[in-house]
């Protein structure tokens, strides 16, 4: 079963297709290549929310669907929940 999807190899986050439990190993699928990847979830991640595929520092760019979706405002690690508490749009 796939727990999250990643649209492109350049993406730095995946999107949860189920609720992901903290501490468990989540399996993801790259939609462009069908390659699978496993990431240990560091937090609970709700359906539709993002899981970090790599560590990021404040000011870094987050890529989803091959597009820049915003900047990191609080450092996070691979496997962390990525949402409004650590990611903001660059528009404002």
Q: Report domain extents, the chain.
A: 4-88
d(CA 78, CA 54): 4
Residue 17: per-residue pLDDT: 98
- Predicted confidence (pLDDT) per residue in 37-87, tens digit: 999 999 999 999 999 999 999 999 999 999 999 999 999 999 999 999 999
pLDDT band at 1 (very low <50, low <70, confident <90, very high): confident
Q: Using an 8 Å Cβ cutoff, are 58 and 31 in contact?
A: no
Q: How far apart are CA 17 and CA 60, in angstroms?
A: 25
pTM: 0.94
Task: Give dist(CA 5, CA 79) in Å, integer.
Answer: 14
Q: Which of 35, 55, 17, 54 is nearest to 26 (CA)?
A: 17
4-88: CATH topology: 2.30.130
Output DSSP code: residue 1: -
Looking at residue 91, its pLDDT comes to 80
């Amino acid at each position: 079963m796939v727990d999250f999807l990643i649209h492109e190899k350049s993406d730095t986050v995946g999107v949860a297709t189920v609720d992901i439990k903290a501490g468990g190993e989540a399996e993801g699928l790259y939609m462009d290549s069908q390659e699978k990847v496993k990431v240990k979830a560091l937090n609970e991640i709700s359906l539709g929310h993002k899981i970090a595929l790599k560590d990021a520092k404040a000011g870094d760019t987050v890529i989803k669907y091959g597009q820049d979706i915003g900047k990191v405002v609080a450092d996070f690690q691979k496997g962390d929940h990525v949402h409004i508490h650590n990611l903001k749009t660059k528009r404002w």
